[in-house]
C-alpha cells in the first residue's frame, strides 16, 4: 500500500505531469483493471492527507503549496487559475444569487464534504457578488435550517460580466435601469442618460460601475439604446447584447473572405476526385449551409462503402489569420429563433464552403467500409472534391420511405436507389449502436414559429423521423472513425467527451425510480439505464423517467482527455462533421490535413485544454441565449393570452410549487403552491412530489396537467400557471414522442 502511495505521488508531482483521471494514472503505472478500485481509494486517502488534490472534473493534481492567507476583501482581482493556495477553509466557485438576496456557490475545486458542491451564502454575507461571478468563499459554522454548508464571500476572483441589458425608467427626477430577469432586486441608478437620448420604456445596454450589495445601491452608465420595449427585433438584440454575442465581423476578416471568394476557381487542386459519384445532402427545409454529404455503394465482397463528405473549411480558414481569429472567438454559430449568428462570414458559410448541388466543392472525406452487420472494418481519409447530385430535405426522404414507388417518379431511380441503400445500412448501424448500450432520451424538441415581425405565431414539434436517424448514424460513424484514426496516430486532439453520471446522482435516480414503482437492481451501467428508458416509453411516467435520467447525466464537453462518450457508448469520439458552425471540428480537419500531407501538426496538449474549455463555454453560451430568447418570445406571445389553457408536463417539483412546460407550446412556468388552495401540501424532496392530505392530491415529476396562463412578467421573465384539471394524468398520445434530445 505504501509503495502504491509513493508511486502515485511520484507520478503526479513529477515535472511535466498533466492533470488526469485515476484511470489514466492506472494506465501509466501499468496497473490491471482489478487494481483500479484500490488506486482510487488510495488517491482519496492522499487527497484527505493533502498530499494530492482534486481539480475540475475530478482530475488528480499536485498539492497546493502553503502560502499566506489572502485578504478578506471582495474586489476584482485575479484570473480564476490564479485563485489558489487558499487556507483549507476557503473554496473557489461560481456564485448564483437568488431573488431573495441569498445565494449558493457551486464549488469548482475540492468539495466541502464528500458529495457536497454548493455552499449556502446568506444575503448579508454575499457582498456585491453577482450571479455568475467566480468567488472565494470562506466556510462558516452551519446553523439549524441552513440548506447546506454555510459560507461568506471574501473575494471576487472574476466578474462574469459588467454589461447588462434592461429597461430604462425615470422616478422622482432620477434615471434607473431595471435589469432583465431576476439578477438584481432593485433598479440600478444610471445618472444622466441624456447623452444616449434614452426614453422611458426603452431597452438599453448598461455598464455596471458599482455592483449593488445589501449596504448600497448599484450604479451604472447607459452605453447603448436598443429601442422601445416590444418593438420588432428589440428582444433579439437584447439577448445578443446580454450574452455578449458577436453579431459583426471585423473588416479584415470580411476582406479575407472576399479575397478567397474572388480567387476560388473550382479546380481539383490535387484532390481525390469524387465529383462523378452520386452524392446527396439531406438537411432541414430551411437550412442555409450544407456541410455534410453522403455517398454509399455496395462492394463486390458484399460490404458497404460509406462516404461522409464534409465541407473543407480548413482549406479556407488558415491558422492565425483574421478569419481564424474570428472563428475561434465565436467557437460556434448561434441559432436564434429568428436569425443565425454564423461562426464564419456568409460568403464562406453559405457560399464557398457550402456543399451546394451541382457545384464543385472541397471536402475532407471519411470513406468507411462496413460489413453487412454494420461493423466498421476500415477507414480512409481524403482531401477531396465532390459535386452534390441533389439537395434533399428530411421531409422528402420521409416521403420516399413512406411511398418509394411514387418518389421514384419525382426523384429519379439513381437517387432513390441511393436512399434505399442509406436506409438499410443506417438502420443496421442504429440497431448495433443500441445493442452496444447507446442511450436515447425522448425529450420533445419544439421549434417556435415566427411571423415576419419576429413574433411567435405558434410552435411545432421537430420530428425525429427515420430520415433524421439516417444522417445521425452516418455522422456518428464518421466522428468515431476519425477520432480513432487520430488516436491510433498518437495525436492529441479535441475529443467530444461525456463522462459517466456521478455516483450520488445515480443513487438519487435509483431512489426516485423506486418511488415511481420501477423495480430495479441498480442503475450502475448504461445498459440498465437503457432498459429503464425503454420500459418507460408510452407509459404515464415516461416524462418523469426521461427528465430524471437527463438530470442525472453530465454535460458533454470538448477536451483532449482520453475519455469516451458515455451516452453514445463510444470509447473514442470527436466532432468532425460540422466545421462551418463548430470550431472544434475545424481543428480536427487541420489534423487530418497534417496526416494526409505528412506535416507535423500543431499538437500542444495544454493549448487544447484551454481551447476545449473555451469552446465548451461558448457552446453553453449559445444554448443559453437560444433558450432565453425562445422563452422571451413565448412570454411575449402569452402576455396577450391570460387565461389561455394548455396541457403541460411537470418538469420540476419544489416546496414552493411545480415547474411545468407546455406540451404543444414549450412555455416554462410555475404553478405556485399557494394557488393549490384545496389542500395543505407537503414537499418530498426524495420522491420529487407535492402531496396533500386528501386522496389523489399528489403531484410528481412527469405528470401531465391542464393549466391556464395566470401571470406574465416580461422584465423578470416569469410565467405563472394555475391548474385547471389535475386529473389529466396520462402521457401524451403516441408511444414514442416525436422529438428526441440529442446526446452528441
**How many distinct structural domains can be found in the chain?**
5
Domain boundary among 624, 649, 671: 624
**pLDDT value for 743:** 47
Cβ(712)–Cβ(638) under 8 Å? Answer: yes
What is the per-residue pLDDT across 719-739, written as a single tens digit (0 to 9) for each? 999 999 876 544 444 333 334
From the list 128, 217, 236, 229, the residue with the least C-alpha distance to 176 is 217
**Residues 7 and 142 placed together within one structural domain of the fold:** no
What is the per-residue pLDDT across 494-544, written as a single tens digit (0 to 9) for each? 999 999 998 888 888 888 888 777 877 778 788 999 989 988 887 777 777
Containing 472, the helix (H) or strand (E) segment is helix 466-488
pLDDT-based confidence at residue 14 (cuts at 50, 70, 90) = confident
CA distance 275 to 385: 6
**Residues 396 and 453 placed together within one structural domain of the fold:** yes
Using the predicted structure, report yes or no on whether residue 558 has a pLDDT greater than 50: yes
Which residue range(s) make up the domain with 37? 2-61
Query: What would the 3-class secondary structure string for 237-298 be?
Result: HHHHHHCCCCCCCCHHHHHHHHHHHHHCCCCCCCCEECCCCCCEEEECCCCCCCCEEEEEEE
Instruction: Enumerate the β-bridge partners of residue 165.
Output: 205
pLDDT-based confidence at residue 85 (cuts at 50, 70, 90) = low
**pLDDT value for 448:** 84
> Is 529 among the domain residues?
no
695 or 223: which carries more pLDDT confidence?
Answer: 223
**Residues 391 and 469 placed together within one structural domain of the fold:** yes
Using the predicted structure, report yes or no on whether residue 235 has a pLDDT greater than 90: yes
> Is 531 among the domain residues?
no
CA distance 128 to 393: 52
CA distance 220 to 193: 10
Cβ(6)–Cβ(52) under 8 Å? Answer: no
Quote the Cα angle for 567-569-570, to 5°: 115
CA distance 72 to 74: 7
Helix (H, G, I), strand (E, B) or coil at 527: helix
DSSP at 348: I
**pLDDT value for 327:** 97
From the list 494, 506, 620, 618, the residue with the least C-alpha distance to 563 is 494
Greatest mean pLDDT among 23-32, 479-488, 630-639, 646-655 lies in 479-488
Burial class (CB in 10 A: 0-12, 13-18, 19+), 71: exposed
Cβ(576)–Cβ(310) under 8 Å? Answer: yes
> Is 19 among the domain residues?
yes
**Residues 287 and 369 placed together within one structural domain of the fold:** yes
DSSP at 656: T
Strands 202-210 and 188-189: unpaired
Of 43-52, 555-564, 615-624, the one with minimum mean pLDDT is 43-52
**Cβ-proximal residues to 667 (8 Å cutoff; 6+ apart), any chain:** 631, 634, 635, 638, 646, 661, 719
Task: Give CA separation, 617 vs 107, 237, 543, 574, 696, in Å.
Answer: 17, 21, 28, 17, 44
Q: What angle do helix axes 413-435 and 394-402 make, rounded to 10 degrees?
A: 90
pLDDT-based confidence at residue 58 (cuts at 50, 70, 90) = low
**Residues 257 and 322 placed together within one structural domain of the fold:** yes
Using the predicted structure, report yes or no on whether residue 48 has a pLDDT greater than 80: no
Of 34-38, 250-254, 264-268, 637-641, the one with minimum mean pLDDT is 34-38
**pLDDT value for 181:** 86
From the list 610, 559, 588, 575, the residue with the least C-alpha distance to 21 is 559
pTM: 0.82
For 228, half-sphere exposure in the C-beta direction (CA atoms, 13 angstrom radius) is 3
pLDDT-based confidence at residue 45 (cuts at 50, 70, 90) = confident
Mean residue pLDDT of the chain comes to: 87
Cβ(660)–Cβ(544) under 8 Å? Answer: no
pLDDT-based confidence at residue 77 (cuts at 50, 70, 90) = very low
What is the per-residue pLDDT across 474-497, written as a single tens digit (0 to 9) for each? 999 999 999 999 999 999 999 999
| DSSP for 181-207, written as a single string | TTS-SSPEE----GGGT--TTEEEEEE
What is the per-residue pLDDT across 286-330, written as a single tens digit (0 to 9) for each? 887 899 999 999 999 999 999 999 999 999 999 999 999 999 999
What beta strand segments (E) does 371-468 contain? 376-387, 390-393, 446-450, 456-461
Q: Which CATH number does the domain housing residue 706 bear? A: 2.40.50.140
Domain boundary among 158, 182, 210: 158
Helix (H, G, I), strand (E, B) or coil at 713: strand
CA distance 238 to 616: 23
pLDDT-based confidence at residue 652 (cuts at 50, 70, 90) = confident
Q: Which CATH number does the domain housing residue 180 bear? A: 2.40.50.700
pLDDT-based confidence at residue 621 (cuts at 50, 70, 90) = very high
Using the predicted structure, report yes or no on whether residue 701 has a pLDDT greater than 90: no
Q: Distance between terminal CA atoms of the chain?
A: 40
**Residues 392 and 258 placed together within one structural domain of the fold:** yes
**Residues 372 and 297 placed together within one structural domain of the fold:** yes
> Is 554 among the domain residues?
no
DSSP at 126: S
> Is 405 among the domain residues?
yes
> Is 734 among the domain residues?
no
pLDDT-based confidence at residue 364 (cuts at 50, 70, 90) = very high
Cβ(586)–Cβ(453) under 8 Å? Answer: no
**Cβ-proximal residues to 328 (8 Å cutoff; 6+ apart), any chain:** 583, 611, 614
In degrees rounded to 5, what are phi and psi of residue 652? -160, 145
**Residues 482 and 607 placed together within one structural domain of the fold:** yes
CA distance 210 to 167: 18
**pLDDT value for 5:** 85
> Is 737 among the domain residues?
no
pLDDT-based confidence at residue 192 (cuts at 50, 70, 90) = confident
Q: Which CATH number does the domain housing residue 16 bear? A: 1.10.10.10
In degrees rounded to 5, what are phi and psi of residue 423? -65, -45
DSSP at 178: E
**Residues 296 and 384 placed together within one structural domain of the fold:** yes
pLDDT-based confidence at residue 80 (cuts at 50, 70, 90) = very low
Q: For residue 172, is it left (φ>0), alpha (ψ between -120 and 50) or beta?
A: left
- Chain centroid to CA 363: 27
**pLDDT value for 245:** 95
Interval 593-597 mean pLDDT: 96
Interval 147-172 mean pLDDT: 90
Using the predicted structure, report yes or no on whether residue 669 has a pLDDT greater than 80: yes
Query: What would the 3-class secondary structure string for 532-590 be?
Result: HHHHHCCCCCHHHHHHHHHHHCCCCEEECCCCCECCCCECCCECCCCCCCEHHHHHHHH
Greatest mean pLDDT among 81-95, 335-349, 453-467, 684-698 lies in 335-349
**Cβ-proximal residues to 556 (8 Å cutoff; 6+ apart), any chain:** 496, 497, 498, 565, 567, 743, 744
**Residues 283 and 338 placed together within one structural domain of the fold:** yes
675 or 63: which carries more pLDDT confidence?
Answer: 675
CA distance 605 to 559: 10
Quote the Cα angle for 64-68-72, to 5°: 105
CA distance 13 to 357: 56
**pLDDT value for 738:** 39
What beta strand segments (E) does 358-410 contain? 360-370, 376-387, 390-393
Task: Give CA separation, 345 vs 355, 385, 511, in Å.
Answer: 16, 22, 50
- Chain centroid to CA 340: 17
Interval 630-639 mean pLDDT: 91
CA distance 95 to 133: 6
**pLDDT value for 414:** 96
> Is 315 among the domain residues?
yes
pLDDT-based confidence at residue 421 (cuts at 50, 70, 90) = very high
**Residues 270 and 135 placed together within one structural domain of the fold:** no
DSSP at 224: E
Containing 495, the helix (H) or strand (E) segment is strand 495-497
Q: What angle do helix axes 605-638 and 322-330 make, rounded to 10 degrees?
A: 60
Using the predicted structure, report yes or no on whether residue 444 has a pLDDT greater than 90: no
**pLDDT value for 86:** 52
**pLDDT value for 495:** 97
**Residues 595 and 620 placed together within one structural domain of the fold:** yes
Cβ(576)–Cβ(479) under 8 Å? Answer: yes
Using the predicted structure, report yes or no on whether residue 416 has a pLDDT greater than 70: yes
% the chain with pLDDT above 90: 55
Burial class (CB in 10 A: 0-12, 13-18, 19+), 498: buried
Amino acid at each position: 500500500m505504501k509503495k502504491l502511495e509513493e508511486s502515485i505521488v511520484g507520478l503526479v508531482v513529477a515535472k511535466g505531469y498533466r492533470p488526469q483521471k485515476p484511470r489514466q494514472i492506472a494506465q501509466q503505472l501499468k496497473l490491471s483493471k482489478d487494481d483500479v478500485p484500490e488506486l482510487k481509494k488510495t488517491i482519496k486517502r492522499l487527497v484527505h492527507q493533502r498530499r494530492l488534490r482534486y481539480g475540475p472534473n475530478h482530475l488528480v493534481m499536485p498539492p497546493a503549496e502553503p502560502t499566506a492567507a489572502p485578504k478578506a476583501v471582495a474586489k476584482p482581482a485575479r484570473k480564476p487559475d490564479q485563485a489558489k493556495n487558499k487556507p483549507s477553509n476557503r473554496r473557489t466557485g461560481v456564485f448564483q444569487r437568488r431573488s431573495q438576496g441569498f445565494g449558493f456557490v457551486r464549488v469548482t475545486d475540492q468539495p466541502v464534504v464528500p458529495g457536497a458542491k454548493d455552499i449556502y451564502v446568506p444575503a448579508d454575507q454575499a457582498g456585491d457578488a453577482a450571479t455568475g461571478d467566480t468567488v472565494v468563499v470562506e466556510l462558516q459554522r452551519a446553523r439549524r435550517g441552513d440548506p447546506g454548508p454555510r459560507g461568506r464571500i471574501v473575494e471576487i476572483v472574476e466578474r462574469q460580466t459588467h454589461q447588462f441589458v434592461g429597461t430604462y425608467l425615470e422616478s422622482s427626477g432620477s434615471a434607473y435601469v431595471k435589469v432583465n430577469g431576476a439578477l438584481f432586486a432593485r433598479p440600478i441608478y444610471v445618472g444622466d442618460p441624456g447623452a444616449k437620448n434614452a426614453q422611458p420604456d426603452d431597452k438599453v445596454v448598461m455598464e455596471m460601475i458599482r455592483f449593488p450589495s445589501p449596504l448600497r445601491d448599484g450604479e451604472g452608465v447607459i452605453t447603448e439604446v436598443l429601442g422601445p420595449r416590444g418593438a420588432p427585433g428589440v428582444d433579439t438584440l437584447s439577448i445578443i447584447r446580454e450574452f455578449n454575442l458577436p453579431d459583426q465581423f471585423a473588416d479584415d476578416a470580411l476582406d479575407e473572405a472576399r479575397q478567397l471568394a474572388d480567387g476560388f476557381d473550382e479546380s481539383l487542386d490535387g484532390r481525390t476526385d469524387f465529383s462523378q459519384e452520386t452524392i446527396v445532402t439531406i438537411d432541414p427545409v430551411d437550412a442555409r449551409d450544407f456541410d455534410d454529404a453522403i455517398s454509399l455503394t455496395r462492394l463486390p465482397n458484399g460490404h458497404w462503402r460509406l462516404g461522409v463528405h464534409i465541407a473543407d473549411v480548413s482549406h479556407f480558414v488558415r491558422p492565425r489569420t483574421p478569419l481564424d481569429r474570428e472563428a475561434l472567438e465565436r467557437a460556434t454559430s448561434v441559432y436564434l429563433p429568428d436569425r443565425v449568428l454564423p461562426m464564419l462570414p456568409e460568403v464562406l458559410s453559405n457560399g464557398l464552403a457550402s456543399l451546394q448541388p451541382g457545384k464543385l466543392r472541397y471536402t475532407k472525406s471519411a470513406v468507411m467500409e462496413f460489413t453487412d452487420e454494420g461493423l466498421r472494418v476500415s477507414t480512409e481519409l481524403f482531401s477531396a472534391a465532390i459535386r452534390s447530385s441533389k439537395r434533399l430535405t428530411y421531409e422528402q426522404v420521409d416521403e420516399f420511405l413512406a411511398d418509394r414507388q411514387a418518389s421514384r417518379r419525382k426523384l429519379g431511380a439513381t437517387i432513390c436507389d441511393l436512399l434505399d441503400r442509406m436506409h438499410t445500412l443506417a438502420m443496421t448501424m442504429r440497431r448495433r449502436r443500441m445493442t452496444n448500450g447507446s442511450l436515447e432520451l425522448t425529450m420533445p424538441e419544439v421549434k417556435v414559429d415566427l411571423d415576419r415581425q419576429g413574433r411567435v405565431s405558434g410552435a411545432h414539434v421537430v420530428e425525429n423521423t427515420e430520415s433524421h436517424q439516417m444522417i445521425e448514424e452516418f455522422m456518428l460513424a464518421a466522428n468515431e472513425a476519425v477520432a480513432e484514426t487520430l488516436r491510433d496516430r498518437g495525436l492529441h486532439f479535441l475529443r467530444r467527451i461525456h463522462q459517466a453520471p456521478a455516483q450520488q446522482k445515480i443513487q438519487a435516480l435509483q431512489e426516485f425510480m423506486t418511488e415511481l414503482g420501477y423495480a430495479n437492481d441498480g442503475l450502475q451501467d448504461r445498459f440498465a439505464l437503457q432498459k429503464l428508458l425503454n420500459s418507460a416509453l408510452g407509459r404515464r411516467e415516461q416524462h418523469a423517467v426521461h427528465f430524471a435520467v437527463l438530470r442525472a447525466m453530465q454535460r458533454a464537453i470538448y477536451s483532449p482527455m482520453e475519455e469516451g462518450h458515455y451516452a453514445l457508448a463510444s470509447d473514442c469520439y470527436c466532432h468532425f462533421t460540422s466545421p462551418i458552425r463548430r470550431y472544434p471540428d475545424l481543428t480536427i480537419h487541420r489534423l487530418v490535413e497534417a496526416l494526409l500531407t505528412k506535416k507535423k501538426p500543431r499538437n500542444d496538449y495544454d493549448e487544447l485544454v484551454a481551447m476545449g474549455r473555451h469552446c465548451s463555454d461558448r457552446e453553453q453560451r449559445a444554448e443559453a441565449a437560444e433558450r432565453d430568447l425562445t422563452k422571451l418570445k413565448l412570454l411575449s406571445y402569452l402576455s396577450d393570452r391570460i387565461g389561455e389553457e394548455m396541457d403541460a408536463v411537470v418538469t420540476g417539483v419544489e416546496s414552493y410549487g411545480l415547474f411545468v412546460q407546455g406540451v404543444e407550446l414549450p412555455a416554462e412556468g410555475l404553478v405556485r403552491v399557494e394557488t393549490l388552495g384545496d389542500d395543505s401540501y407537503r414537499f418530498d424532496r426524495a420522491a420529487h412530489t407535492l402531496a396533500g392530505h386528501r386522496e389523489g392530491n399528489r403531484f410528481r415529476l412527469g405528470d401531465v396537467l391542464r393549466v391556464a396562463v395566470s401571470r406574465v412578467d416580461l422584465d423578470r421573465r416569469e410565467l405563472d400557471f394555475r391548474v385547471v384539471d389535475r386529473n389529466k394524468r396520462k402521457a401524451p398520445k403516441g408511444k414514442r414522442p416525436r422529438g428526441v434530445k440529442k446526446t452528441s
